[in-house]
Structure 1
């Protein structure tokens, strides 16, 4: 770290009033603090970070008077076994760089901790053991890893044996005869080597990985071809829940509007889940040539790919079989979440590189060979799924899918926006020169489609607050795009002009923070972006966890503001 970087870092900490995801400050006047090894573990297991020793956080990050740098340095080095200590404080220790630096007339000790290589994770405090001594960094906190997070880190690069394990108490009687016959017929048609040299059905199923040597079904065989796999694993379903607003369990409203527990073999569960989501999305129609074309606001292929990926690539080890794949449909987005983090060295940056990595190789192989319906097989194993989702969303002028990777979960977020399909966006580019808010765009397209609209109907269909809808209607009326019919009722009127591209909540936050030299509060961001504060808060929390945005105060502090990491 350069002197300039140190000054900039401390200036940022002073503005926000606390540590953050990248930096931990400790006073350590005459000895290392007892919890410093928790921070080392947390940085090593997350994205790395910096320790600054010799500053007092409670005194505005001022240098500690009488700081014994040499003693603290020696204790730190000894703790990591670099000084000959027989018992290091940290197991699977991270790489680090350590230097003394001048700061405001005193010296501090700066230790830059690198993220531990995946094959050596998790990094943990020896004295507390693996189950209690492994941490992750979340904002300015060192959080103990859960048992599932520890499992995921330990097996980050190991193919899972779970899908090849025998399912006790199962037999071929538990297979769906139609699906099994369909699989064998297809393998025969493609002259599969698995069928060569014998006509014995049992041998064929064993070679294909459907049954084990003992005659019981394999986990992959049961999940791919079972008549009802949930007899053995009740929670291995796709849970589709439709929420009334933009967050779960909003006050003064129903818990959910629709819920479907999608069961059966994985292909059928995926198809049922896609149907359940689709019936709760808006469908837009527009004319092509002499016919009419109907499109979901999120392309069906994208929904199917995202849900199928969640089912195929999820973690199926014993610690996770009690968790379902969840699909949450909100008024502004669809979230697909599966147990188990990214595997095999995949990162958010390499998701779309076209290289297929799958922890469940047997399940992937079987799922790619079975056509459950006219939709085809739920998996293809070629590594093209993420690219397909991005391409389809772009071709419909929608925001790209957003991917979130936790240690023990993976989430795909698809922004809803029937108004954003290519045909409608092309039309909207002719109606006004003024950039429209997301509410205005949605309301205008509903007015165009229905010709006559009301606040009550828009609120029911779109989930926006009634006052937001009224404000949008008044603005559009001022633009001459709609005309009032009666109280809270309007009709469509055509105009011309151009429209600027809409932005997501994430982009809007980045724009506001990027234009400000000072920290910005949530209410100011809401006012400048025109987006609902609940959506902004949810996105801000994710950006803080990712280390992109730095808060100025703890979450409970009403003065808390935000700024970009510099």
Structure 2
């Protein structure tokens, strides 16, 4: 980096009034700032970044006077563990240091590289991994949560939690009909798995529905259990429909619609797809002599996104208290699951079609068990899912899906077709009355976030459509509204 480049960088920060996601400025005039190690950790664990030493942010991003360049440089090199002694960080990243002239003095520009995922987290040794690991959010170094640290630490390590025995669960907690169908399909799809199995228990052990001691495995319970949420109450899919393009735009109602999808993984996938589909627009096209109705987001893409979230999420005990979230907004659908990338998968190779499997037993079982709605098996396990989603969205003239890997979660964003802004006012009023019963104009305004005039115009329209009925004459101060019998 030369002086012109550094000047341009500092001018950009000056316009923003602070550091940013990728740049941190520290004075360190006579000694290295103690919190520099938090920044190194944050950059190493996130996406890399630049640290500028010898520049005062308080004074307007100008060089500090009498900057002790060599002393500060040596302290940094020592702290990184490159001076022959123990450094300040565990898993320190690669870095480069440049002396750059700025306004007649020399400052230090340190470029921190992001760590390979298998080496994360980088953390301050004296605080330990749980207290000394950081990530970069905007201009701040933010401590990683315990689940984020756990997710990073287990990135490249096989942790077959899907084969763990479920305490208290027995064969009577399995759906016998679904078990029999699974065994029948196993004979057809993977006949060698059933070869020489003399009895049903042996067959279930071969499929890893039971372990060698006859205990029900986590994968077995989730795939063919009668009611898996008896043992894991939070392992469900939460489908929430929001008014507008952000959460919380529907006033105190919070949601336009909400569905908690429980049961086996196959049932959850099918129910979640149906819950989202009923809140999407449908389009009609003529193909030959037939008219074909289809969702604005192709159903195969929606199903793939939800199935991937279910199959590839983290099922370790620390994550079993977290559900999968599907959020439907006016312009997009977001599917978020616990657990980040795994086993060599990174942002860079996410689209290469290769498969990495966190839950191998679960994937195998899900490739055998059919979905309850007859849509086939929800797992292929060959890495074709993401390329398919991209190709299908393109073919329908939609924006490509956005894939957002995080430290301990993964989010997929599916963009809806662009249309005029949706007026949710009438729907918000109907939802409020379903929830609260009879409400007056001011109460409806409070619960929906609409103004009084907006409530009145929409109430009048709903009355005309026969969806609402007033409880008193228009002149009454006690006039409220309720759903008509055909709606309620």
So what's the TM-score if we normalise by structure 2?
0.85
1:160-559 paired onto structure 2 within 5 Å:
160-190=159-189, 192-250=191-249, 252=251, 254-373=253-372, 374-417=374-417, 438-439=419-420
Structure 2 match to 1:139: 138
In structure 2, C-alpha distance between the alignment counterparts of 1:170 and 1:62, rounded to whole Å? 66
Structure 1: stretches of 5+ with no match in the other structure: 420-437, 444-453, 467-566
In structure 2, C-alpha distance between the alignment counterparts of 1:318 and 1:41, rounded to whole Å? 27
List per-residue Cα deviations over 1:477-526 (Å, max 9, x = no partner). xxxxxxxxxxxxxxxxxxxxxxxxxxxxxxxxxxxxxxxxxxxxxxxxxx
Change (3 A) 1:315 1:74: same
Instruction: State whether residues 250 and 428 of structure 2, in contact with CA within 8 Å, keep that contact through their aligned partners in structure 1.
Output: no
List per-residue Cα deviations over 1:527-551 (Å, max 9, x = no partner). xxxxxxxxxxxxxxxxxxxxxxxxx
Q: Aligned-pair RMSD on alpha carbons?
A: 2.2
1:117-128 paired onto structure 2 within 5 Å:
117-128=116-127
In structure 1, C-alpha distance between the alignment counterparts of 2:192 and 2:110, rounded to whole Å? 58
In structure 2, C-alpha distance between the alignment counterparts of 1:40 and 1:354, rounded to whole Å? 33
Change (3 A) 1:456 1:89: closer
List per-residue Cα deviations over 1:112-162 (Å, max 9, x = no partner). 111122222111111212111110111110000000110011011122221
Structure 2: stretches of 5+ with no match in the other structure: 431-448, 451-488
Structure 2 match to 1:63: 63
In structure 1, C-alpha distance between the alignment counterparts of 2:247 and 2:266, rounded to whole Å? 28
| Secondary structure of 1:197's aligned partner | coil
| Secondary structure of 2:370's aligned partner | coil
List per-residue Cα deviations over 1:413-449 (Å, max 9, x = no partner). 11122x6xxxxxxxxxxxxxxxxxx52xx79xxxxxx
- 1:95 equivalent to 2:94? Answer yes
4+ aligned runs moved over 3 Å, structure 1: 454-461
Deviation at 1:334, TM superposition (A): 0.9
| Secondary structure of 1:108's aligned partner | strand
Instruction: State whether residues 158 and 359 of structure 1, in contact with CA within 8 Å, keep that contact through their aligned partners in structure 2.
Output: no
Deviation at 1:251, TM superposition (A): 5.5
Change (3 A) 1:456 1:365: closer
| Secondary structure of 2:136's aligned partner | strand
In structure 2, C-alpha distance between the alignment counterparts of 1:190 and 1:117, rounded to whole Å? 38
Change (3 A) 1:37 1:234: same
So what's the TM-score if we normalise by structure 1?
0.73
Structure 1 match to 2:2: 2
Structure 2 match to 1:561: none
| Secondary structure of 1:88's aligned partner | coil
Deviation at 1:455, TM superposition (A): 11
Deviation at 1:255, TM superposition (A): 1.4
| Secondary structure of 2:410's aligned partner | strand
Structure 1 match to 2:40: 40
In structure 2, C-alpha distance between the alignment counterparts of 1:229 and 1:382, rounded to whole Å? 27
In structure 2, C-alpha distance between the alignment counterparts of 1:19 and 1:74, rounded to whole Å? 24
Change (3 A) 1:235 1:100: same
Number of equivalences: 432
Structure 2 match to 1:53: 53
